[in-house]
Amino acid sequence: MILSIDTSSEMGSVALAENHHVVWRSYFKGKRHFSSLFDCLEKLNLASLKIEKIFVGTGPGSFSSIRVGIAAAQGISIAKNASILSIPSIWSIGLQFSHIPSLGIFSDARRGELFCSLFSYGKLVKGPYLIEQKKLTEIIKTVDLAVSPEALHDNMPQVFPRAEDFFLLPENCPPFDNTPFPEPIYLRGPV
């Protein structure tokens, strides 16, 4: 079985797949994922499951929340002797809109900046990279659809990464990273 975790936005998710089919999924919402994630994992009854791999989203997004997801994945990995594959969470949203020729995914990076990623038909074209928040209106005019996990703009649907979307990518696909110690995506140095 493969367990997948994403905590990069205010809507976190956990999914379980067996033989390439999603057999369980759960979503939880809140600014802090600490207790919600662990409540969700407790309902899953991990002790009774044979987890062989764990996928974990690395953002960009809330660094603290992403670190909670990564720490949970690492702990389960040790307990289950399972391998970890990390993946940028934005790929989930790119896959949700794989029919769109030009998709812009934006999220709040704080300090007057936004994370930006551009996809075309479910493939990453550029990003993630930082833009000034004041340039958002100008940039969304250049894409067919602009989405965000946060309410950033009146004409922008709010869409969240989903853990089950990671199952749609082949494991040898470039977005996956098999480092045993995944890190959140950082696009700027420390303050």
pTM, two decimal places: 0.92
Whether the CB-CB separation of 58 and 29 falls below 8 Å is answered with no
184: in domain: no
Better pLDDT: 143 or 181: 143
How confident is residue 140, by pLDDT bands cut at 50, 70 and 90?
very high
156: in domain: no
Same domain for 67 and 6, yes or no, is yes
Helix axis angle for 34-44 and 63-80, nearest 10°, is 30
132: in domain: yes
8: in domain: yes
How confident is residue 31, by pLDDT bands cut at 50, 70 and 90?
low
| Percentage of the chain modeled with pLDDT above 90 | 72
Better pLDDT: 25 or 30: 25
Per the listing, tokens 């958002």 go with 136
Same domain for 130 and 140, yes or no, is yes
Count of the separate structural domains present in the chain: 2
Nearest to 155 by CA among 163, 167, 147: 147
Better pLDDT: 4 or 179: 4
77: in domain: yes
Mean pLDDT, to the nearest integer, of 60-83? 93
pLDDT given at position 33: 63
pLDDT given at position 182: 86
Q: Which amino acid is at 171?
A: E
How confident is residue 191, by pLDDT bands cut at 50, 70 and 90?
low
Name the residue range of residue 7's domain. Answer: 2-89+161-168
How confident is residue 169, by pLDDT bands cut at 50, 70 and 90?
confident
186: in domain: no
Same domain for 97 and 83, yes or no, is no
CA gap 161, 89 in Å, rounded: 6
What mean pLDDT, rounded, does the chain reach? 91
CATH number, domain with residue 7 = 3.30.420.40
Q: What is the DSSP string of 67-133?
A: HHHHHHHHHHHHHHT-EEEEE-THHHHHHHTTT-SSEEEEEEEETTEEEEEEEETTEEEEEEEEEEG
Whether the CB-CB separation of 93 and 181 falls below 8 Å is answered with no
